[in-house]
A and B are shown apart, each in its own frame.
Chain A
Amino acid sequence: MKKVVITGAGVVSPIGSGLEEFFQGLHNSSRGVDRITNFDTEFFPTALGAEVRQSRMVFRSDPAVDRKEVFIRKSMDELFRTSRVDRYDPADRLLHLGAGIDYFDFLGYVRQKSRRDWNSCNLRAHRVADMLAGEFDVRGGHFVNVSACVASTQAMGLSLRLLRNTPGKAVITGGLDSMLSHLHYMGFYSLGALSKWRGEPSSACRPFDRNRCGLVIGEGAAAYLFEREENAERETIFCEVAGYGSTMDAYMVTDPEPSGGSLAQAALDAIQDAGITPDDIDTVDMHGTGTVKNATAEAKAMEFLFPKRFRDIPVFALKGQIGHLIGACGAVEALGVIDMLKHQRVLPSVNCDQPDPGVPLRIVREEPLSMKINHVLKINAAFGGQNTAMVFSKYEQ
């Protein structure tokens, strides 16, 4: 089977934009969660979010602007500037992204006094892909996955499958999302899903902590260049994308399947796809939303996957730093995986101050844990029950 590798990336995130700034924020355990400032949250019952920052300043935009479109354009711009994607003929470049639900310019809509036009205020993600394909000269086909919180990992998973089966192509993949706007934000609030944390805003998203109390919405985008190893320039390789699996809980719309069996099956599929066994996995990058049920379901899945090792295998969760990027979460979190493989260490998960005895996982806290890392498992799960898992491996010829 042909190896697929990552040879370029670009990112926009709440802990920094551009790879250099992002990795600096990642290494410093920077926290991007704070009170929302880009839009008016007066009278909102809660107003915490992880807004995109560049040079420590929150990225500001007009309410008519679809922020995630801006974020993915910036990410792709960085990718195209810093990678060797230009070696591919435009007809051999594909674009396959994961996105959240469309941005709706609610304030623009309510200000239309007569005959409000819903369509003109609904900014669609597939149109974003159309525009980007034109702007970046990607003529081999483009489309968008919209599987909620696994949209971007499903897009990356398909990109892996596609490259294995198709010679001579390059895929630009990743994800984009921003739900930090009136309707989407309050929609999550109405469901009771948002963090009820009363302390410092930066501590509001608490994956695996005993006092975790809900998710914090983040925003951002990440773009990657996936190529076959045989076409890649060795010195540009970040890591190998070794395996992918996707399953469906078929349990409930609202909650993860509590046994974690379906999530574990996605992981087993990805591990088998990578040609390794669970014993070969060195560390796991968790979905870790900061909700009560997510942590217990993920812990069960870990127990299922690693019956003898689940208490010992070091794990990491990034959402404490950047919040939940929904349609872009897996794509941005994958940069954390790349970092682990490069520096051979597991970074500490922030805000897990008091580990939950009901979640018997080895969450690395406070200090990075240096160790030999060849294979990282990355798991994600979506509202509605879709699960994904990917295996990223240290590149070796």
Chain B
Amino acid sequence: MTIEAQLRNSLLPVFGFHSTEQIPEDASLVNDLGADSLDFVEIVYLIERDFGVVLKTNELMVAGASVDPDTLFVEGRLSEEGASMLNQQFPDSNGRFKAGMTKVGFFQSISVRDLANIIRQRTSEMRKPC
């Protein structure tokens, strides 16, 4: 089963859905599926439980890389460097992370596929030999 398929399955109870068809891969967690801040707490918990990937909500922004997510923002807005880093972190970003974006804007743009990519990135890092 792909990470995307597993993730869509894990997310069912978060949104009260019965079928993974209700969770398309390109759906925005916030704008399309209606995720609120506590849903992200739950999502992070489920990612740890089901994939063994430990993340904090804030760390979704840096895909768990060892960078303080707060340093990407200046006065609450995404900096040029921050935008460029995020576009690199998310392979399907198509340059959608732009300077000036707020944290709320970031979370609004995160899709199911983005989340799967973060998990993929972290699980492949975990498998790397020391």
Contact = CB atoms under 8 A, between A and B. Distances in A.
A252 B41 contact: no
Chain B contact residues: helix, strand, loop or mixed:
helix
A30 B51 CA distance: 46
Chain A residues touching B, majority SS: loop
B57 A252 contact: no
Interface in A253-271: 254-255
A340 B3 CA distance: 59
A254 B36 contact: yes
Interface in B36-50: 36-38, 41, 45
A1 interface: no
Contacts of B45: 190
A192 B38 CA distance: 8
B36 A190 contact: no
B59 to A, nearest CB: 12
A255 B41 CA distance: 13
Contacts of A293: 37
Interface residues of A, number: 7
B36 A191 contact: no
Nearest to A191: B41
Interface string A326-346: 000000000000000000000
Contacts of A190: 41, 45
Nearest to B56: A192
Contacts of B38: 191-192, 254-255
Contacts of A252: 36
B57 A192 contact: yes
A293 B38 CA distance: 12
Contacts of A255: 36-38
A220 to B, nearest CB: 27
Contacts of A254: 36-38
16 contacts: A190-B41, A190-B45, A191-B38, A191-B41, A192-B37, A192-B38, A192-B41, A192-B57, A252-B36, A254-B36, A254-B37, A254-B38, A255-B36, A255-B37, A255-B38, A293-B37
